[in-house]
Amino acid sequence: MSRVAVLFFVLQDMSFVRHTYQFSLRWFTTLFKDALATCPRSNTGACGSPRARQRCLALPAPRRSTLRRDALARASRAGRERLESLTIHFAGMLYTGAAMSLFDQDKRPFAVLMLARYMLVSRGPLPLCA
């Protein structure tokens, strides 16, 4: 979440470039809610279907704990993948939405500032969309 929150402060810093660049928190949160609604979900099946849960419960006790541990590991991995996918999707939506109101000469510095702040928070570059 801190990776996404830092992008709001990038928008606020754009007012130092030109005083006409003012972005509200309401616009940012609406954009974030839209990103949550429109971000494609990963089809990993980590949460498990009802049929998979029934099969897990029908197994003998020693194997059931191993399956639960594996399911938790898959769910954790799926959660990280979902968070990364959501971050990438939101960053794209944020740049697209904000760039509509920026002058052409300010779009590239805005993109560099977004990337630099993201790298400071996450200690790594923003992964590219596949």
- List pLDDT tens digits, range 89-109: 999 999 999 999 999 999 999
CA atoms within 13 A on the CB side of 39: 22
Locate 20 and state its tokens: 């006409």
Identify the H or E element spanning 109. Answer: helix 104-122
Neighbouring C-beta atoms of residue 98, cutoff 10 Å: 23
3-state secondary structure of 68: helix
pLDDT digits (tens, 9 = 90+) for 40-74: 875 444 334 444 444 444 444 445 555 566 666 67
- List the domains of the chain with CATH numbers: 2-42+79-122 (1.10.8.1220)
Contact (CB, 8 A) for 11 and 74: no
pTM of this structure = 0.68
The secondary structure of residue 123, as a DSSP letter, is S
Nearest to 35 by CA among 10, 13, 9, 4: 4
Mean pLDDT over residues 22-46, rounded?
Answer: 82
Nearest to 114 by CA among 5, 2, 7, 1: 7
3-state secondary structure of 32: helix
